[in-house]
Amino acid sequence: MTGDTTKEPLLGPDASRSPSSSNDTLLGNDEAAMEKAAFEPQNALTRKFTEQEWIALRKFRTRLPDVYTAAYGQSTTDATPHPLAFSIWGIQVNVAEPQADPRVSVLLMKFLRAKDLDVDAAQKMLADALKWRKDIGIDLIGEEDAKKLVKTTGVSFGHDKDGLPVSYMKAGTIDWKVFQTDRYLAVHQQIRGTEYMFRKILDFECIHQIVKVVDVKDITSNPIPVDIGAELKTMQERYYPGHVAYSVAINMPSVTTANWLLRFGKWLDSVLGTPAKSTNHITHVGTDKNEIARTLLARIDAKQLPRELGGEAEGFSWTAPGPKK
């Protein structure tokens, strides 16, 4: 899906206000940067930013040279043969001109929103994310690797009533033994699958979030080490902020015992993602088919919901991508 990228005043009709405007005082020495960025390319997502978000974003952009140095250990003042840039979630970020690509603005806003527009905290969060990506080589995922990650990533099929793509995952198809026999492989298969899924689905022009539906039916009784589940959950929170709009777990046990939660609770949290600070964005549904259908149809139109889950859509498979829109 391609967004309409145009140049518009960042703050809408008030963008032409004089530098003495009250909001400018929030930035102090960053006033010059605000003046320079009065007009820039925008897309459908950046047009939804609030005025306070734009103010924080402009300040955050001026910190990118420091973010780059903290992440890669290379001073941005050193002589380099090419402009400094880094890649994250498949988006190339030009440190010197981040305003040139509206997708970069959307990307940076995810870190700002995760930290309630605290620029200092967002700066550290982004630098830490880039260090982590460099250390594990997450940017090196190829198409062949991706084919092996289908069971851990989920399958994208259709969209919800707000136009957000929906990812379906069946927990029972995962090889749980690897979580006990090879910790490193298990964790990195999960996170590499997550990375690949987001890259393929999110364009940061019109779509920057997904919906997750996870079926826990037939989940194995083999326990996942609790610390691995916690580690995966932490990775989602720190390195993929705001990627999930909301989640639905279906076919939950009729009695969610403490033992079941101990085995799979943290892992399930990591799969469902961290859509918001409120747990209202994560819904757990039991095994009743009518209840599952009602819950999903409240969010997903029948023509977009797979028939086996109570909808009318044909062509869905748990193990292969569905038809593109």
> Is 114 in the same domain as 15?
yes
- pLDDT confidence of residue 237: 87
> Is 157 in the same domain as 290?
yes
C-alpha to C-alpha distance for 100 and 41, rounded to whole angstroms: 6
Asked if residue 290 has pLDDT above 70, the reply is yes
> Is 178 in the same domain as 29?
no
Buried (b) or exposed (e) across 33-72, using 16+ Cβ within 10 A?
A: ebeebeebebbbbbeebeeebbbbbbbbbbbbeebbbbbe
- pLDDT confidence of residue 29: 46
CATH number of the domain that residue 149 is part of: 3.40.525.10
Helix H or strand E encompassing 6: strand 6-9
Asked if residue 324 has pLDDT above 50, the reply is no
Helix or strand or coil: residue 135? helix
- pLDDT confidence of residue 145: 59
- pLDDT confidence of residue 269: 60
Q: In this structure, is residue 128 part of a structural domain? A: yes
Q: Higher confidence at residue 310 or residue 272?
A: 310
> Is 35 in the same domain as 128?
yes
Lowest mean pLDDT across 60-64, 166-170, 318-322:
318-322
> Is 133 in the same domain as 149?
no
Question: Quick one: CA torsion of 40, 6, 57, 194, rounded to 10 degrees?
Answer: -130
Task: Compute φ and ψ for 219, nearest 5 degrees.
Answer: -65, 140
> Is 107 in the same domain as 210?
no
105-153: per-residue pLDDT in tens? 999 999 999 999 999 999 999 999 999 999 988 887 655 555 555 555 6
- What mean pLDDT do residues 213-241 have? 76
Among 84, 119, 138, identify where a domain stops. 138
Helices of type H across the chain: 31-36, 51-61, 64-72, 102-114, 119-136, 143-147, 150-153, 177-181, 183-201, 226-239, 258-272, 289-297
Asked if residue 323 has pLDDT above 60, the reply is no
Mean pLDDT for the chain?
A: 78
235: pLDDT confidence band, cut at 50, 70 and 90?
A: confident
- What mean pLDDT do residues 160-186 have? 80
- pLDDT confidence of residue 8: 46
- Closest-CA residue to 282 (of 231, 236, 219, 220): 236
Asked if residue 311 has pLDDT above 50, the reply is yes
C-alpha to C-alpha distance for 284 and 252, rounded to whole angstroms: 7
- What mean pLDDT do residues 58-75 have? 91
> Is 164 in the same domain as 76?
no
- What mean pLDDT do residues 54-63 have? 97
- What mean pLDDT do residues 64-90 have? 79
Q: Which domain holds residue 102?
A: 6-138
Q: In this structure, is residue 189 part of a structural domain? A: yes
Cα 73 from chain centroid (whole Å):
26
- What mean pLDDT do residues 192-197 have? 84
- Residue 36 in tokens: 């320079």
237-268: per-residue pLDDT in tens? 899 999 989 889 898 876 554 455 555 555 56
Q: Look-up: residue for tokens 């001073």? A: 75
- pLDDT confidence of residue 312: 96
Query: Left, alpha or beta for 73 (phi > 0: left; psi -120 to 50: alpha)?
Result: left
Among 80, 107, 138, identify where a domain stops. 138
Cα-based distances in Å from 143 to 18, 149, 220: 51, 10, 29
* pTM score, whole prediction: 0.80
Q: In this structure, is residue 114 part of a structural domain? A: yes
Q: Higher confidence at residue 197 or residue 302?
A: 302
- What mean pLDDT do residues 195-208 have? 92
C-alpha to C-alpha distance for 120 and 64, rounded to whole angstroms: 11
Q: In the chain, pLDDT over 70 holds for what percent of residues?
A: 65
To 5 degrees, how large is the angle CA 314–CA 318–CA 323? 45
Q: Higher confidence at residue 220 or residue 229?
A: 229
> Is 148 in the same domain as 287?
yes
Q: Higher confidence at residue 225 or residue 32?
A: 225
> Is 175 in the same domain as 198?
yes
> Is 123 in the same domain as 195?
no
- What mean pLDDT do residues 296-324 have? 86
- What mean pLDDT do residues 153-178 have? 84
- Closest-CA residue to 217 (of 276, 148, 157, 292): 292
C-alpha to C-alpha distance for 114 and 33, rounded to whole angstroms: 23
- Residue 127 in tokens: 């630098």
Q: In this structure, is residue 171 part of a structural domain? A: yes
> Is 180 in the same domain as 302?
yes
Asked if residue 304 has pLDDT above 60, the reply is yes
233: pLDDT confidence band, cut at 50, 70 and 90?
A: confident
- Closest-CA residue to 214 (of 159, 256, 275, 153): 153
Q: Higher confidence at residue 231 or residue 15?
A: 231
> Is 104 in the same domain as 222?
no
